[in-house]
């Protein structure tokens, strides 16, 4: 009986040691940083080849008829090409989001353009989020102090509300809002939904500009990209951001009251 028990214990110990060895195997650093490295290399190449310089209102004006005819003759291919290009631009963090959104309205109209842009932008943002989370999240958690851990817990608890505010208020670079949630441990679903819903108002503003871009070209004018900061546009967006923060305020108020009642 004792011999059998000792053999069983020895066998169990070996199994635990094997599982411990398996769990102690870490992903190589080069593999962790590979997705981020690919995105960074793409960004560098885009700048070196002047990809950003091609995206201008002057280029759009000169190729107006070609683009509109291509969309009319190839409706499916044109949508796929536009969305793929938009998603890649966002994934590479190129500063062309505003003009590409206007192009979406110019080519597809206000409503369809908004839908295409929101889907493509969300896909591109999610690529950045996943790459950053895979590369940096474990490293940040290992070196994080108590203050960062507390901020992470608070952000994760109200992830959707915070993401809505960050996406709605046009004060934060889009690429930065893709990175921060990844480093603070925001769940995948919260990130995707918060991004898709939060960018709709701003997207619709710029897509609507693009929908009337032809008339501006006929007048020899170009759109004002700073229009979203005008009070008539920005005020309702800020109002939506305030509404998004109501659940966070309610939770804090409820927790404070419950803490006071237990004393």
pLDDT digits (tens, 9 = 90+) for 215-234: 888 888 888 777 788 887 78
Whole-model pTM over 0.85: no
pLDDT at res. 146: 59
Pinpoint the alpha helices (H) of the chain. 2-24, 29-48, 51-54, 57-62, 64-73, 75-91, 97-108, 110-143, 146-157, 159-168, 174-183, 188-198, 200-211, 213-218, 231-261
> Integer distance in angstroms from the first to the last C-alpha of the chain?
57
Six-digit token string for 143: 């070196």
Angle at Cα 177 formed by Cα 174 and Cα 180, nearest 5°? Answer: 150
Q: Give the DSSP letter of residue 1.
A: -
User: What pLDDT band is residue 147 in, cutting at 50, 70 and 90?
Assistant: low
Six-digit token string for 166: 């960050």
């Amino acid at each position: 009986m004792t011999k059998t028990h000792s053999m069983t214990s020895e066998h169990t110990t070996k199994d635990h040691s094997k599982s411990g060895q398996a769990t102690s195997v870490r992903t190589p650093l080069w593999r962790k940083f590979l997705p981020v490295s690919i995105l960074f290399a793409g960004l560098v190449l885009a700048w070196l080849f002047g990809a950003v310089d091609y995206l201008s209102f002057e280029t759009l004006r000169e190729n107006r008829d070609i683009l509109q005819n291509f969309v009319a003759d190839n409706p499916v291919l044109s949508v796929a090409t536009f969305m793929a290009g938009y998603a890649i631009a966002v994934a590479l963090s190129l500063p062309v989001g505003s003009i590409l959104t206007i192009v979406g309205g110019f080519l597809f109209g206000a409503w369809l353009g908004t839908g295409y842009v929101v889907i493509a932008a969300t896909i591109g943002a999610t690529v950045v989020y996943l790459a950053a989370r895979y590369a940096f999240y474990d490293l940040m958690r290992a070196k994080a102090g108590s203050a960062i851990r507390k901020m992470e817990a608070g952000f994760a608890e109200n992830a959707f509300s915070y993401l809505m505010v960050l996406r709605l208020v046009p004060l934060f670079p889009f690429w930065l809002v893709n990175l921060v949630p990844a480093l603070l441990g925001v769940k995948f679903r919260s990130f995707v939904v918060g991004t898709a819903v939060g960018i709709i108002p701003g997207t619709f503003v710029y897509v609507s500009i693009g929908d009337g871009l032809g008339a501006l070209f006929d007048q020899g004018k170009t759109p004002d990209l700073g229009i979203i900061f005008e009070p008539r546009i920005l005020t309702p967006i800020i109002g939506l951001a305030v509404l998004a923060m109501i659940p966070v305020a309610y939770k804090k108020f409820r927790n404070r009251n419950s803490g006071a009642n237990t004393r």
